[in-house]
Structure 1
Amino acid sequence: MKTSSASESTPNNMVLSFLRIQSTAVAAAVPVSRNLRCIPHERDALLDFRAGLIDPENYLSSWQGKDCCQWNGIRCSNRTGHVVELSLSFTNVGFPDGQMSSSLLGLKNLRTLELSSGKFTGTPILEFIGGLKNLRYLSLSSAMFGGRVPPQLGNLSKLLHLDLNGLSWDSYIYSADLAWLSRLTTLQYLDLSLVNLSKVIDWAHVVNKLPSLVTLSLSGCGLRNVIPSPGHINLTSLEYLELSGNEFSSSSVGTKNLFWDLPSLLHLGMSVCDLQGSIPQNVGNMTSVTRLDLSDNNQTSTLPTTFKKLNNLEESSPYMNSINGPIAVLLERFPAENRLQDLILFENKLTGNLPSQLGHLRNLTTLMLSDNLPTGELHTGISALRKLTELWLDSNNLEGPRFPEWLRSQNDMHVLGISNTSIVGPIPPWFWVTFSGTQHLVLSRNQISGLLSPTMFRKMEADTMDFSDNCLIPSLSFLSLRSNLFSGHIPQQISKMKQLQYLDLACNNISGIIPESLAELIAMAVPPQEDGPLSHMVDCGLSIDVIDVVSYTDSSLVVMKGQQLEFTSGIVYMVNINFSCNSLTGPIPEEIGRLPALKNLILSWNHLSGIIPDSIGEVPSLESLDLSHNNFFGEIPASISVLTSLIFLNLSYNNLTGRIPSGNQLQTLSDRASIYIGNPGLSGPPLSKNCLEPGLTPATPEAHKHGGDTVFDFLAIGCGYVMGLWIVFCLFLFKKNYRVVCFLISDGLYDWVYVKVALSRAFKTWKKV
């Protein structure tokens, strides 16, 4: 999409090049003397000019020695040696005190003066510039000049190029009277964009007195049509006219007579000009125009019938208006034989079906019809647009009973936006091949269904892909979202990922229950194969609106057996569910037994409750089971003892009761006592606590009749405590190794407590969020 702006470079590069050559007046016919040096008084004038400048980039370091013709930014005549050009554009030079030296008046033969994009913060455009009578080329744009445009510039009667574009955050340039401009009758290029001309009432009459103008840019000047424009138009050479960002209206005399009757015009920019009503019929008089920008106005009617005369039109941009009526009528206004490349009509009120006339615009490369009111199907007439590279049909009332087949012929599409167009059904296989080179692909807010395979994404080279708000099911085998800030429940849609083999949602703020539908993850029900889904490792990140798929070929970190392990090729055989460090509640679903290939189940640090289901014994491949730090109660199911593959088990810090089941596999686990710690109701090996025998009753008050003896017990304990501290103190005093070990243990204990507290606070914060 192309849009105009106040600082947009004009298409008249050849004209500008000609002006620059003409302004320097290079005379190659006369031999050049090797001993020729610049004129001494001109050198002195330049040095005096430099003395008042700041030069942060040291651009003027070459300004020394006798031959000023060799200095940066200086050009001399090959014939006379006089300085004919001074160019300091884009050099950041400026005046620290806001004063420009008038010594430049000594350069009587100067023809080009360029100070664009300098740092002349607030410095007025000084009147003495009007004394440089031989200037052909003057550019002071974007140089932070401020104040009034001096009318003395009207003395530059030989000027061909004048650029005072005020585009700058640090300056304010204005003119209340443009009478001086009418004296520059040889002017071919004029740019006063963003110069405040809101008080000028006769601007149309002034510019009409410049018959040589080829380029005129008056964007954002606050212009208004307050008096009738001239009856006779002298701007017969004008090719480029940019008037965007002013306050015209279609009913004014000026817009009817001045802007639309220019037969040589190639470019007309009138966006954001408060144009109302309809485009006048005499727009057809601009038979040479190639670009017409009428965007962001208040026009309501369709294009006039005289639009058919614009055979050379390449871009039409009446977007962001209120143009109404059938889209078929609008398309009929374009000539049968046309050069139109860009048709930009978004945010209007066009209605009706997409007609077959679309196919007549065979040179179209960009078509934007978003945010209108067309109905019916996505018409096959678009398939005739073989040069189309950018298509936007978003947010319309179009119907798509199936994926539009005509898109199959659009092999050169770079941008495709067909969101919110009621497309239903799956994405066909040819789509991924046809649009493999697309840069921006937007298919959101439709009813597209089916699987979204990572192999499809690997074929794409798009910078942006948006498939949000559809019915697509990501076909993933590896999904890791650990250590984020995700909240809410575990979505039921996960169960539809039939290839999902590795699922890690640990360390988030996910709440709710573990859905029973996880039993439908059929890839966890069969043993993984060497050439299975994870043989092409893909690590995916999901958000509400975006699916971001990244090819992953490096190693992967997996939490298993109570520690973090690094997997490379072995990840192919990993079948994993990790929901640890969340806020899940409720029981473990019985359906967990329907995932017999599961190797790693980690549900620790949640708020899960209920009994541990017997079906856990129906997962024979289970190697690592961590249910610690939850609220499970009841007895440990005996079925756990039949898990012959079990290598790691952690049931600590729950409310489990009863006798610990025995079994050969459970006897092989390391550090067995720590598996059950924090469950005061458990008994039996490997714990030292025995079960309560039948008939035992709680202690009676009589059992405490000797309670007075406890005084002596406490005294004995206190003495032993003091003696123990004394022994430890002596050991630390004389045994350095003991001190080191003790401090290491205490540091480790401190770190452990700190991490636990930090995690607890983080979880509370996430819950509040």
Structure 2
Amino acid sequence: MTFMFVVSVVLQVAYGQHHIRCIPKERDALLQFKAAIVDDYGMLSSWTTPDCCQWEGILCNNLTAHIIRLDLHGEVHYEYFYRYGYYGVSQRYISREIHMSLMELRHLRYLNLSFNDFKDTNIPEFLGSLTNLRYLDLSSCRFSGQIPTQISSLSHLKYFNLAHNYYLNGPIPREIGNLSLLEYLDLSGNSLEGSVPSQIGNLYRLQYLDLRYNSFEGEVPSQLGNLSNLHTLYLGGRYDLKVVTTDQWLSNLTSLTHFSFNSISNFNSSPSWLRTIAKLPKLRELSLIECGLSDHFLLSFNPSNFNFSTSLSVLRLSDNSFTQPTIFQWVSNTTSNLVELDLSSNLLKGLTSNHFGLAMNSLEHLYLSNNLFKGEDLKSFMNICTLHSLYMDGNNMTEDLSSILHNFSCGCVRYSLQELSLRNNQIKGIVPDLSVFSSLKILDLSDNQLSGKIPEGTRLPSHLEQLSVRFNSLEGGVPKSFGSTCTLELLDLSDNKLSEDLTVIFNHLSGCSRYSLEEIYLGQNKVNGTLPDFSIFAKLETLDLRLNQISGTLPSNLATMFSSLKELYLDSNRLNGTISEDLRFPLELEELSLMSNSLKGVLTDSHFYNMTKLRILMLSDNSLTLEVTQNWASAFQLDSIELRYCSKMVLDQIWIVKLDEY
């Protein structure tokens, strides 16, 4: 019986059924850490109960109750928004400073504080006393100062990430070579300077090394050739780093699968480097970006005695000085299994031979943006039957869109292509029938010179998910045939000259696309009429109607009309009338802009009833009064509010994090 009891206890402990409360000394240390932190987003809100092992971000050892894991990484999610560029749509982080009480967590094996805001503070030296650490991630924390040498005391460390702390400066401490168990080291995106220390060559177990985008100078140390387990090596970018005369060290890295030289100033002075790289037996991805490569340099390699490893699937040669389309023939002669080729930001122009398309029977992604290609040059790629993505933004296409696509669609690529971007050219004409590209999912024709009305009956590819034709000169409205694309999720026709009635536009979109559309952008046109009933667009999350000529009042049933809406932009229109007391804004709304209209009335607590996600509220340039009772506990917290020329009765400062009045 005693034996069975002991076995039962052991099994309970082993499988976490026997609960052990945290150690008081370590709990006190965490509370001191919390007291020094600003926690605007409630990441530490669970840190109040007696048992710290149950707190968010904490993991304790089931046998000893010591804290072995502290994971408080922040979260910032970015979304591309066409008018303002990239911005964070949601975030959750802690800030201020890391308290030295963490020294008490002597058994800590895992520490992740990435994506938080420790601006104007240095990386704490006391972290070097946490000698049981195996994992340390302090990336994207806005640290400044230098990397403390005490880090070299972390003799068990396997993973070390300090990436993207832009103000982190000074040299890489030579003592970093003492971290003999290190397998992953990322110091990219900082302002580190001086030479790359040769002591990194002592990290024999290292598998991943990223030193890009710093301010290093001097030569890449040949001791990196000692890292025989290295599978990923990224060097260069934003500094004057050079390769040493001999390439012998690189030939030792036979485990390399991912290799990048970015802005290595003297790479093109020694052809032997490329020969050495080509012989790396396991290489899958190669990036030689902004290395001064030219037609003459590459064409000096005779394909008959020069070939890349058959494992190479990704080749990036962007931001170099290639001018002639013979580069395509060179690529097809020296590589046989490429899946991705990037030649963007060169000076390429002209047709290449059909041999390229026929030889590249694995190529799926081709990036040729920011070159000098004409529309007729697309014919060079019409026979790449495996091609999924083609990006040709910012070239020199001035022809009619119909002729460009007709020539391109004569080959088998029309059946395989899924993404096509021709934005930022000078393409003319109307939007033609596009249905010939039967697999196309994403089409971007923005920033061109398309004009006139989109002909009624113009068909979209049957699987199209995203169509962007913004920043052109299109007139009229949206053809009814667009509403028959049952997979369409995003439609962007903003910044054109559309002038159709808004109700007619949405009637034309009310075919099967009403079940799929999530984002509609019609801003900065001449669209008129009143707001129709949008309720049949069940998945709509973003609606941009700003800078048009829409009139009438705000419907009181906005909440039921937009059950899924997250972003609503109605600013700079002709909306008028008094805000109804019965109006309720959509519950999922995160951003609302009603600026620069002629709306009147009082907005109160009740208009925002049950809203939990609102972050941005823009009401400026109306005749509105915002009246919020002082004891109202809102369920949301604004990042920004604009109330110019509005009356503000009571504003609870807990509700508003940042008040922007202009």
Pick the TM interval, shorter chain.
Answer: 0.5 to 0.7
**Given the alignment, which residue of 206, 215, 227 partners 1:213?**
206
Of 179, 183, 188, 2:178 maps to: 183
Q: Is the 1:403–1:428 Cα contact (8 Å) retained in structure 2?
A: no
- Could you tell me how far apart the structure 2 residues matched to 1:316 and 1:258 are? 22
Deviation at 1:333, TM superposition (A): 3.8
Displacement of 1:296: 3.3
- Secondary structure of the residue aligned to 1:357 is helix
For residues 377-433 of structure 1, what are the alpha-carbon distances to aligned partners after superposition, in whole Å with 9 as ceiling and x for unaligned? 65866344222122245437999897345246513423335699999999986x533
1:295 aligns with 2:293: no
8 Å contact from structure 2 (residues 375, 399) kept in 1: yes
Question: Per the alignment, in what secondary structure is the counterpart of residue 225 of structure 1?
Answer: strand
- Distance (whole Å) between structure 1 residues aligned to residue 119 and residue 95 of structure 2: 8
1:224–1:246 Cα contact (<8 Å) kept: no
Q: The residue matched to 1:367 in structure 2 has which SS?
A: strand
CA change 1:255–1:547 in 2 (3 A) is farther
1:439 aligns with 2:439: no
What amino acid sits opposite 1:267 in the alignment? Answer: H
The residue aligned with 1:63 is 47
Change (3 A) 1:396 1:347: farther
> In the alignment, is the contact (CA less than 8 A) between 2:381 and 2:408 conserved in 1?
no
Distance in 1 (CA, whole Å) between partners of 2:367 and 2:206 is 34
Counterpart residue number, 2:233? 241
Aligned equivalents of 2:385, 2:146: Cα separation in 1 = 53
Tell me the distance in 2 between the aligned counterparts of 1:425 and 1:246.
41
Do the aligned partners of 2:375 and 2:397 also contact (CA within 8 Å) in 1?
no
Could you tell me how far apart the structure 1 residues matched to 2:117 and 2:423 are?
A: 47
* C-alpha deviation, 1:454, in angstroms: 2.4
User: Which residue pairs with 1:3 in the alignment?
Assistant: none
State the AA in 1 paired with 2:279: N
- Taking structure 1 as reference, are residues 217 and 255 closer, same or farther at Cα in structure 2, changes over 3 Å only? farther
User: Alpha carbons of 1:350 and 1:308: their partners in 2 closer, same or farther (altered >3 Å)?
Assistant: farther
Q: Does 1:173 align with 2:168?
A: yes
CA distance in 2, matches of 1:351, 1:188: 44
User: Which one of 455, 458, 461 corresponds to residue 456 of structure 1?
Assistant: 458
Pair 1:38 & 2:31 matched: no
| 2:274 corresponding residue in structure 1 | 280
Deviation of the 1:180 alpha carbon: 1.4
Task: Supply the distance in 2 between the matched residues of 1:60 and 1:420 (Cα, whole angstroms).
Answer: 46
Give yes or no for contact 2:146–2:170 (8 Å, CA) kept in 1: yes
Inter-CA distance 398–391: structure 2 relative to 1 (3 Å threshold) = farther
Give the Cα separation in 1 of the matches to 2:472 and 2:431: 14
Q: In 2 relative to 1, CA 432–29 (structure 1 residues): closer, same or farther, beyond 3 Å?
A: same
Distance 1:261 1:409 in 2: 41
Given residue 335 of structure 1, which amino acid in structure 2 is its aligned partner?
T
* 1:455/1:54 CA distance change after superposition, 3 Å: same
Q: Which amino acid aligns with 1:45?
A: A
Aligned-partner Cα distance in 1 for 2:451–2:169: 59
- The yes-or-no answer on 1:262 pairing with 2:253 is yes
Report the CA distance between 1:181 and its aligned residue: 0.2
* 2-structure distance, mates of 1:543, 1:565: 17
Distance 1:546 1:244 in 2: 45
**Which of 184, 196, 221 matches 1:229?**
221
Secondary structure of the residue aligned to 1:197 is strand
Which residue of the partner structure matches residue 121 of structure 1? 119
Matches within 5 A, 1:694-713: none
Q: Partner residue of 2:331?
A: 331
1:322 is paired with a residue of what secondary structure? coil
Q: Does 1:416 align with 2:398?
A: no
* Aligned residue number for residue 641 of structure 1: none
Q: How far apart, CA to CA, are the structure 1 residues paired with 2:431 and 2:192?
A: 56
Which of 48, 58, 69 in structure 2 is aligned with 1:85?
69
Q: What's the offset of the Cα at 1:246?
A: 3.7
1:367 counterpart letter in structure 2: L
Amino acid at match of 2:360: L
Report if aligned partners of 2:425, 2:447 keep a CA contact under 8 Å in 1.
no
Taking the aligned partners of 2:426 and 2:315, their CA distance within structure 1 comes to 28
Listed as ranges, the gaps of 5+ residues in structure 2 are: 1-10, 75-91, 478-491, 509-527, 533-662
**Secondary structure of 2:228's partner?**
coil
Shift, 1:161, TM fit: 0.8
Q: Secondary structure at the match of 1:416?
A: strand
Which whole-Å CA distance do the structure 2 matches of 1:376 and 1:93 have between them? 50
Going from structure 1 to structure 2, the CA distance change for 1:254 and 1:176 (only over 3 Å counts) comes to farther
Alpha-carbon distance, 1:52 to partner: 2.6
C-alpha spacing 1:39/1:297, structure 2 compared with 1 (3 Å) = same
Q: Give the alignment partner of residue 192 of structure 1, picking from 187, 194, 207.
A: 187
SS at match of 1:270: strand
8 A contact 1:374–1:398 mirrored in 2: no
User: Match of 1:243, SS?
Assistant: strand
Deviations 1:564-615 (A, max 9, x none): 999x9xxxxxxxxxxxxxxxxxxxxxxxxxxxxxxxxxxxxxxxxxxxxxxx
> Does structure 1 retain, via aligned residues, the 8 Å contact 2:351–2:379?
no
Q: How does 1:484-633 map to 2 (within 5 A)?
A: 552=505
CA contact 1:346–1:372 (8 Å) conserved in 2 = yes
1:259 is displaced (CA, Å) by 5.2
Equivalent positions of 1:721-736 (< 5 A) are: none
Could you say which residue in structure 1 is the equivalent of 2:396?
395
Q: Is the 8 A contact 1:362 1:384 kept in 2?
A: no
1:543: Cα distance to partner?
11
Q: How many residues align?
A: 453
- Deviation string 1:539-563 (CA, Å, 9 cap, x unpaired) is xx999987798863769xxxxxxxx
Q: TM-score, normalised by structure 2?
A: 0.58
| Aligned-partner SS, 2:259 | strand
Give the CA deviation at 1:363. 1.6
Q: Distance in 2 between matches of 1:458 and 1:275?
A: 49
Q: Which residue of 2 is the match for residue 518 of structure 1?
A: none
Cα deviation digits, residues 351-378 of structure 1 (max 9, x gap): 6641222221112122234555679965
The structure with the larger Rg is: 1
337, 342, 353: which one aligns with 1:355: 353
Structure 1 residues 225 and 114 mapped into 2: Cα distance closer, same or farther (>3 Å)?
A: same
Deviations 1:5-59 (A, max 9, x none): xxxxxxxxxxxxxxxxxxxxxx998465725222232223223333333322333
* 8 A Cα contact 2:226 2:252, kept in partner: no
Q: Distance in 1 between matches of 2:388 and 2:499?
A: 24
The more displaced of 255-264 and 115-124 is 255-264
Code of the residue aligned with 2:237 in structure 1: it is: G
In 1, Cα distance between equivalents of 2:224 and 2:111: 34
Matched residues, percent identical? 27
Structure 1 pair 318/47, CA: closer, same or farther in 2 (3 Å)? Answer: same
Which amino acid counterpart does residue 138 of structure 2 have in structure 1?
L
- Residue pair 2:398, 2:428 contacting (<8 A) in 1 also: no
Cα distance, 1:149–1:331 mapped onto 2, change above 3 Å: closer
Cα distance, 1:438–1:83 mapped onto 2, change above 3 Å: closer
Taking the aligned partners of 1:437 and 1:319, their CA distance within structure 2 comes to: 25
Partners of 1:330 and 1:380 lie apart in 2 by: 19
What root-mean-square deviation, in Å, do the aligned CA atoms of Structure 1 and Structure 2 show?
A: 4.4
Q: Separation in 2 of the partners of 1:423 and 1:390? A: 20
Deviation at 1:153, TM superposition (A): 0.5
Q: Distance in 2 between matches of 1:106 and 1:421?
A: 60
AA in 2 matched with 1:175: G
SS of the residue corresponding to residue 222 of structure 2 reads coil
Question: Which residue number corresponds to residue 308 of structure 1?
Answer: 307
Q: 1:375 to 1:119 in 2, by over 3 A?
A: closer
Distance 1:123 1:217 in 2: 24
Matching residue of 1:754: none
Which of 335, 343, 346 is residue 345 of structure 1 equivalent to? 343
Does the Cα contact within 8 Å between 2:382 and 2:408 map onto a contact in 1? no
Using the alignment, how far apart are the partners of 2:472 and 2:40 within structure 1?
50
* Structure 1 gap segments, 5+ residues each: 1-26, 481-540, 556-563, 569-769
Local SS of the residue matching 2:163: coil
Q: Which residue of 1 aligns with 2:633?
A: none
Q: Is the 8 A contact 2:417 2:439 kept in 1?
A: no
Check whether the contact 2:379–2:407 (CA below 8 A) recurs between aligned residues.
Answer: no
